[in-house]
Every structure is written in structure tokens, then in C-alpha cells.
């Protein structure tokens, strides 16, 4: 109960600091508008290049030959660029090196199953490959059913499965405003690191830790209360940004707003624990604040906060995995645009493991100074 009181008054003090609160909210809201307007063109699809797919041709299986024939159709070749290899390992090496997006493998002893291996990170390309394979499966099933019913018309074709229709992709990919609303929201959560650092430092600066100790409070009550108060403040900030951008900027936050808020809570816990741990380890508020402010900007840049991920170089894309901003962004994109559920689970687990590890480090380090 005492920890709840500390959390409440910590959050109340942060919210009543109107200057700090305004900067935490005004900066991302303005940046969303500026970046969304300036870089809107980079989110427009003008030309769709065929997706590079590796087909493993290691046997004379009838299903494999039918699939190879299917992929060589002119309509299919407009969206799928197929390269044939004789060895599965060689094909996987091309996937790992980024020379192709997906690999299709038909095993002779696998009862006609088609195995598709795809690179992560591109929802659109993944859907193209999956749609083509699904189309082939439907064709193969139809041909099998036709033969079972005694059909023998050699002029019958089951491969005309590509229909040309005008599409409006706006609902399945983020606009510039949608993208930068997510990146700036995540940046705001990460600025909670400075909240965490300052919250612990202010106790010593204003000597309030003496009053807390004299009130017969245990260290864990002080620690939990301060951390929970900062997280609550960040969740309030996130709620304001989401509501404002949703109804003023018409940003698409998807249908599962509670999960987006849970992602914000996850990032808030990580940011707070990182800030507290940094403050405890360095022991100097000014140095900790300077380090964390710089770190947030670097992590935001690496996480695609300013330059979209798809516009980065291959080296920068690899470095992006070191940024929690990138992990949070991928979680939100996958949640809003029906992407990889396994990627959501894996990235969420990484963020929580990092958060709990930092909290444990902070608790052990802080016990000496606040106990």
C-alpha cells in the first residue's frame, strides 16, 4: 500500500510539471506532423518489383515439375522471379545472404507438402509468395479432383488463377503519418529513461530520502513506488498521443488498441528500468541525463524513427536489431497490419527479459544508497 502512495505522488508530481509534460507531448506531436508531411512520398508504392524466390529442384517429382511449370507462367513471372537450384543448402545460403526473399522446397518423401521458407521483415512480399503458393495448391487440388471424376480433356487448364484488379493498399500498409506516429510514440516512451534517472537522483538532491526512511519505509517499497509512478506517467503520455493522433491526424492504430497500450507499457518498463539502472551505476544525475538523452536519439535513429527501415543500408538494418525502438516498432506494425505473430512474441519476450534484468541490477545497486 505504501508503494502505491509513492507511485501516485510520483506520477502526480510529473503530471503537474507542466513545462516538462508539454515538451514530452508537444515534441512528438509536432514531429509526427512534420515528418509525416515531408516524407509522405517514400511511403507511396509506385512500382512493385517481382519477389525473388528460390525453387529447389533436386528430384523429378511430378508435383515439383508442376510447380515449376506454374511459376514459369507469364502472369506469375510479373510478381515472382524464380531461380532454380539443385541443392537445398545452397538455396538457404542465398536466403541468408539476402539474394532472395523466399525458398520453396518439395520433398519427395513428404506426401506432396510444399515447404516455404521466407525472410522476416517484409509483410507485403511474404503475402505475395504465400498467395502464389496458395493459388498453385488450389489449382493442383482442382486438377486432382477433375481426374478422379474421370475428366480427360487435355485442353483444360487449372493454372489461370491470376486476376487483375485495381487495389487500394491504404488499409494494409502504413501511411507516413501512421509510421511516424508509431516511431515518435516509441521515442517518447524511451525518453522515460530520463524520468527514471531523475526520479532516483531527486531523492538525494532534495534530501527527501531522509523523510522516506524516517517514515519506516522499506527499500523495496520506495523502489517499486518510484518505478511504478514513472511507468504510470509514461502510460498517460502514451494515451494522450494515441488519442490525439487518432482523432486529429486520423492515424491508424488498428483494431486492438489494448495491445498497443500493452506494448507502450512494455517499452515504459524498459525505459524506466534503463534510466534507473544508469542513474544507479553512474551516480551523477547530469552525466546520466546527458548519456541517456544521446542514447535515446541514437536508438531512435537505428530503430527507423527518422529514416524508414526499408530505406536503410544493409549494415544499418543489422544494427537496428540492437535498438528497442526497432523491436517495439515491429511489434506494433505486425499487430496493426496482421503480420508475424511469432515475431511479436519473440520481440516482446526480448523486451521483457531486458527490462527485468535491468530492474534486478537497479534493485541490487540501489539498496546500498537508499536502504
pLDDT in tens, 239-283: 999 999 999 999 999 999 999 999 999 999 999 999 888 888 887
* Confidence (pLDDT) at 159: 44
Strands 80-85 and 102-106: unpaired
3-state SS class at 313? coil
Written as nine digits, the cell of 338 is 496482421
Rounded distance between C-alpha atoms, residue 289 and residue 306, angstroms: 22
Higher pLDDT, 56 or 351: 351
Question: Considering only 76-85, 332-341, 361-370, which range has the smallest mean pLDDT?
Answer: 361-370
Higher-confidence residue of 157 and 353: namely 353
Tell whether 198 and 312 lie within a shared domain.
yes
Among residues 320, 222, 250, 189, the alpha carbon closest in space to that of 7 is found at: 222
Q: pLDDT confidence of 366, banded at 50, 70, 90?
A: low
Examine the fold and report which residue of 142, 166, 190 is the final residue of a domain before the chain moves on. 166
213 or 13, higher pLDDT: 13
218 and 162 in a single domain? The answer is no
Q: Is the pLDDT of residue 325 over 70?
A: yes
Q: Is the pLDDT of residue 38 over 80?
A: yes
Top pLDDT among 228 and 151 is at: 228
**Which range is least confidently modeled, 141-150, 316-325, 327-336, 350-359?**
141-150
Selected residue with higher pLDDT from 349 and 219 = 349
Answer yes or no: do 261 and 355 share one domain: yes
Range of the domain at 156: 51-166
Q: Given this model, what pLDDT does residue 217 score?
A: 61
pLDDT (0 to 100) of residue 42: 63
Identify whether residues 121 and 206 lie together within a single domain: no
Are 62 and 37 found together in one domain?
Answer: no
The pLDDT of 274-302, averaged and rounded, is 87
pLDDT reported for residue 351:
96
Split at pLDDT 50, 70, 90, the class of 162 is: very low
**Mean pLDDT over each residue of the chain, to the nearest integer:** 79
Task: Decide: pTM greater than 0.75.
Answer: no
Find out whether 117 and 95 touch, Cβ atoms under 8 Å.
yes
* Residue 169 CA to its chain's centroid (Å): 20
Instruction: Return the pLDDT at 215.
Output: 54
- Exposure string of 217-256, with b = 16+ CB inside 10 Å and e = fewer, is bebebbbbbbbbbbbbbbbbbbebbbebbeeebebbbeee
Using only C-alpha atoms, the chain has a radius of gyration, in whole angstroms, of 26
Q: Are residues 99 and 206 in the same domain?
A: no
| Cβ atoms of residues 37 and 186 within 8 Å | no
Domain identity same for 112 and 22: no
**Rounded mean pLDDT, 336-363:** 89
The residue ranking higher by pLDDT, 216 or 256, is: 256
Q: How far apart are CA 172 and CA 273, in angstroms?
A: 34
- Check pLDDT > 50 for residue 337: yes
Name residue 54's beta-bridge partners.
Answer: 83, 103
Question: Per mean pLDDT, which range of 249-263, 332-346, 355-369 is the poorest?
Answer: 355-369
Q: What is the pLDDT of residue 172?
A: 61
Of the candidates 127, 150, 166, which is a domain's last residue?
166
Domain limit, last residue, from 166, 194, 221:
166
User: Which band of pLDDT confidence, cut at 50, 70 and 90, is reported for residue 165?
Assistant: very low
Do 190 and 326 lie in one domain? The reply is yes
What is the residue whose three cell numbers read 493442383? Answer: 140
- In angstroms, the Cα distances linking 219 to 202, 234, 273, 277, 358 are 16, 23, 16, 15, 17
Domain count, the chain: 2
pLDDT recorded at residue 269: 93
Q: Between 273 and 200, name the one with better pLDDT.
A: 273
Both 162 and 177 in one domain: the answer is no
pLDDT over 90 (residue 62) = no
Residues 67 and 157 in one domain: yes
Contact predicate 192/165, CB 8 Å: no
At 225, is the pLDDT very low, low, confident or very high (cuts 50, 70, 90)? confident
Rounded mean pLDDT, 338-342: 83
User: What was the pLDDT predicted at 125?
Assistant: 76
Q: Which pLDDT does position 369 carry in this prediction?
A: 56
- 208 shares its domain with 152: no
Pairwise pLDDT comparison (351 vs 209), residue with the higher score: 351
Q: Which three cell numbers stand for residue 166?
A: 485495381
Q: Residue 184: what pLDDT?
A: 95
Residues 191 and 305 occupy one common structural domain: yes
In the chain, pLDDT over 90 holds for what percent of residues? 26
Q: What is the CATH number of the domain that holds 81?
A: 3.40.1710
Amino acid at each position: 500500500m505504501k508503494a502505491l502512495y509513492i507511485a501516485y505522488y510520483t506520477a502526480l508530481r510529473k503530471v503537474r510539471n507542466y513545462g516538462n509534460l508539454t515538451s514530452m507531448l508537444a515534441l512528438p506531436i509536432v514531429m509526427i506532423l512534420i515528418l509525416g508531411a515531408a516524407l509522405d512520398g517514400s511511403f507511396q508504392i509506385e512500382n512493385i518489383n517481382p519477389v525473388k524466390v528460390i525453387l529447389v529442384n533436386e528430384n523429378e517429382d511430378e508435383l515439383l515439375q508442376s510447380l515449376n511449370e506454374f511459376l514459369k507462367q507469364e502472369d506469375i513471372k510479373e510478381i515472382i522471379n524464380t531461380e532454380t537450384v539443385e541443392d537445398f543448402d545452397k538455396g538457404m545460403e542465398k536466403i541468408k545472404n539476402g539474394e532472395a526473399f523466399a525458398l520453396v522446397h518439395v520433398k519427395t518423401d513428404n506426401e506432396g507438402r510444399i515447404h516455404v521458407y521466407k525472410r522476416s521483415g517484409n509483410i507485403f512480399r511474404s503475402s505475395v509468395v504465400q498467395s502464389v503458393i496458395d493459388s498453385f495448391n488450389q489449382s493442383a487440388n482442382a486438377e486432382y479432383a477433375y481426374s478422379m471424376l474421370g475428366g480427360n480433356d487435355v485442353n483444360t487448364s487449372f493454372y489461370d488463377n491470376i486476376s487483375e484488379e485495381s487495389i487500394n493498399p491504404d488499409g494494409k500498409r502504413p501511411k507516413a503519418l501512421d509510421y511516424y506516429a508509431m516511431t515518435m510514440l516509441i521515442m517518447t516512451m524511451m525518453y522515460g529513461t530520463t524520468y527514471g534517472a531523475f526520479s532516483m537522483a531527486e531523492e538525494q538532491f532534495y534530501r527527501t530520502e531522509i523523510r522516506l526512511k524516517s517514515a519506516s519505509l522499506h527499500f523495496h517499497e520506495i523502489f517499486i513506488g518510484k518505478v511504478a509512478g514513472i511507468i504510470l506517467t509514461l502510460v498517460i503520455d502514451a494515451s494522450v498521443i494515441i488519442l490525439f493522433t487518432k482523432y486529429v491526424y486520423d492515424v491508424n492504430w488498428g483494431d486492438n488498441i489494448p495491445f498497443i497500450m500493452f506494448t507502450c507499457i512494455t517499452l515504459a518498463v524498459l525505459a524506466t528500468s534503463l534510466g534507473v539502472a544508469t542513474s544507479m551505476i553512474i551516480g551523477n544525475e547530469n552525466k546520466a541525463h546527458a548519456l541517456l538523452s544521446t542514447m535515446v536519439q541514437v536508438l531512435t535513429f537505428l530503430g527507423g524513427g527518422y529514416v524508414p527501415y526499408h530505406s536503410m543500408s544493409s549494415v544499418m538494418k543489422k544494427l537496428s536489431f540492437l535498438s528497442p525502438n526497432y523491436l517495439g516498432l515491429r511489434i506494433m506494425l505486425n499487430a496493426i497490419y496482421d503480420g508475424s505473430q511469432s515475431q511479436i512474441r519473440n520481440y516482446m519476450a526480448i523486451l521483457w527479459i531486458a527490462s527485468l534484468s535491468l530492474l534486478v541490477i537497479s534493485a541490487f545497486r540501489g539498496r546500498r544508497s537508499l536502504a
